[in-house]
Amino acid sequence: MRFLVVGGGGREHAIADRLRRDAPDAEILAAPGNPGMAGIAECVPIDALDLEALAALAEERLIDLAVVGPEVPLAAGIVDLFQARGLPIFGPLRAAARLESSKAFAKRLMREVGVPTAGFGIFTEAGQAGAHIEDLAPPIVVKASGLAAGKGVIICGTAAEASRTVGEILDGGRFGDAGREVVIEEYLEGEELSVFFITDGERAIPLVSARDHKRLLEGDRGPNTGGMGAFAPVAEVESGLVDRVQRSVAEPVLEALAASGSPYRGFLYVGLVMTADGPKVLEFNCRLGDPEAQVVLPLTRAALVEPMLAIARGEGLSDWRPPAPDAFALVTVLASGGYPDTYRTGMEVLIPAGLESDSLRIYHAGTASRDGRLVTAGGRVLGVTGIGNSLEQARTLSQTAAEAIQFEGKHWRRDIGS
Ligand code: AMP
Ligand code: GLY
């Protein structure tokens, strides 16, 4: 078997790690990969957005399965291109990936099939948006409809701020093309939960659910980030909740997409808020979460290769279902000082020898090799996942390692999972 993992962050490292465990004899290529993945995969310096070059690589190296980590190549149509060339790939087609790449599309679809979500309006014209905002009570959530690397959501404390923000997006080009449409939403109060499914377009099979910590600072303060840490499984997820999300969210959405001629295959990420009125959908993503993948994949107690291959071939999942997790995992993200705004790169990263084990995984998110040294190359540098018999044990493992790893400007949250 020969696999290709597209991407080079912590999620893609966790995917490669999972494939390596599922298929110890397989050859794994990663494009572009990262220095951490280089230990288990052959890294090929092709950007995750260079779709032509990726397809040529898959063709040349006779790849049996390509797995795409990030949303941007999915939204750009990597699956469409591979399928047109007869190359096996796991992930949604571009039209189906609109569930993430167009928040306006996702919201309209949710309204059509009756999925509980925040009340909303969709606008392309600032004057109309302003009139709508006057009727709303703050906080008011303003979102660029398109992909904005996790920065496209602004929570506004006043109507004036919301109107100004809409103007910046629609008229000021703040998010470029991603901001040609805005979604204005009701603010949802409650704990967030990320529920992951693997789907063949019809059936949605739940994987482990996780909780991400998006705020930069301890106590859930500071700006939103891509995620500063996550843990799984989430204790308050009564067993019935995931089944309910499967039946009342995932399946109706999949059915509607299939009926419209865009069947959705791949991983489906349902972001929920547990409001006083019950769970409501915050967003869909067309991929696994990052850092959530760094706890979900180590806890998944079944090989993912078989279902991924089946889905890539256009076959069904039949009765595939992984057993419930029998451990806890917690990932602490080590970020560069300054993240999520500007940060320095090129700081040497020192990881003590022997730190990694079956219960302590180090996933590279933003690192590079320079003159034989490991250096920082991104805002989120490493994800340190502890795996234990309790959440407490997983946290202790993760934090002890987070403490031991050194680089200048290292910033991390000590309150993940508490
Ligand atoms: P999104 O890109 O839609 O996932 O939004 C990023 C983050 O913004 C979410 O994880 C939430 O923390 C926050 N957020 C987005 N929409 C809302 C909302 N309607 N109410 C409250 N918080 C929100
Ligand atoms: N951690 C949030 C995301 O992957 O979208």
The response to whether residue 226 sits with its C-beta less than 6 Å from ligand 2 reads yes
As assigned by CATH, the class of the 191-312 domain is alpha beta
Q: Is 417 helix (H, G, I), strand (E, B) or coil?
A: coil
* pLDDT the model gives residue 200: 96
Q: Is a pLDDT exceeding 80 seen at residue 238?
A: no
Neighbours of 108 (CB within 10 A): 14
Q: Provide the greatest CA pair distance for the chain.
A: 61
> What is the whole-number distance in angstroms between the Cα of residue 278 and the centre of ligand 1?
16
- Confidence label for 119 from pLDDT (cuts 50, 70 and 90): very high
CATH number for 2-91: choose from 3.40.50.2000, 3.40.50.20, 2.60.120.1030, 3.50.30.10.
Answer: 3.40.50.20
Q: Is 120-186 in CATH node 3.30.1490.20?
A: yes
Q: Is the peptide bond before 32 cis (omega within 30 degrees of 0)?
A: yes
- Closest-CA residue, ligand 2 atom 5, reads 289
The response to whether residue 285 sits with its C-beta less than 6 Å from ligand 2 reads yes
CB 195 within 8 A of CB 242: yes
Residues with CB under 6 A from ligand 1: 118, 141, 153, 185, 187-188, 192, 214, 224, 271, 282-283
- Closest-CA residue, ligand 1 atom 8, reads 153
As assigned by CATH, the class of the 328-404 domain is alpha beta
Best mutation site among 15, 267, 285 for ligand 2 pocket (most ligand atoms within 8 Å of CB): 285
- Closest-CA residue, ligand 2 atom 2, reads 289
Burial class (CB in 10 A: 0-12, 13-18, 19+), 56: middle
pLDDT, one tens digit per residue, over 188-229 is 999 999 999 999 999 999 999 999 999 999 999 998 899 999
Q: How far is CA 195 from CA 28, 303, 310, in A?
A: 27, 19, 22
Domain locations in the chain as residue ranges: 2-91, 120-186, 191-312, 328-404
Atom of ligand 2 nearest to the CA of 285: 5
Do the bridges between strand 65-68 and strand 2-7 make them parallel or antiparallel, or are there none, so unpaired?
parallel
pLDDT, one tens digit per residue, over 283-299 is 999 999 999 999 999 99
pLDDT, one tens digit per residue, over 250-283 is 999 999 999 999 999 999 999 999 999 999 999 9
* pLDDT the model gives residue 418: 87
> Secondary structure of 286-318 in the HEC alphabet?
CCCCCCCHHHHHHHCCCCCHHHHHHHHCCCCCC
* Same CATH fold assignment for domains 120-186 and 328-404: no
Instruction: Tell me the two tokens of residue 191.
Output: 């704990």
Across the strands, what pairs with 100? none
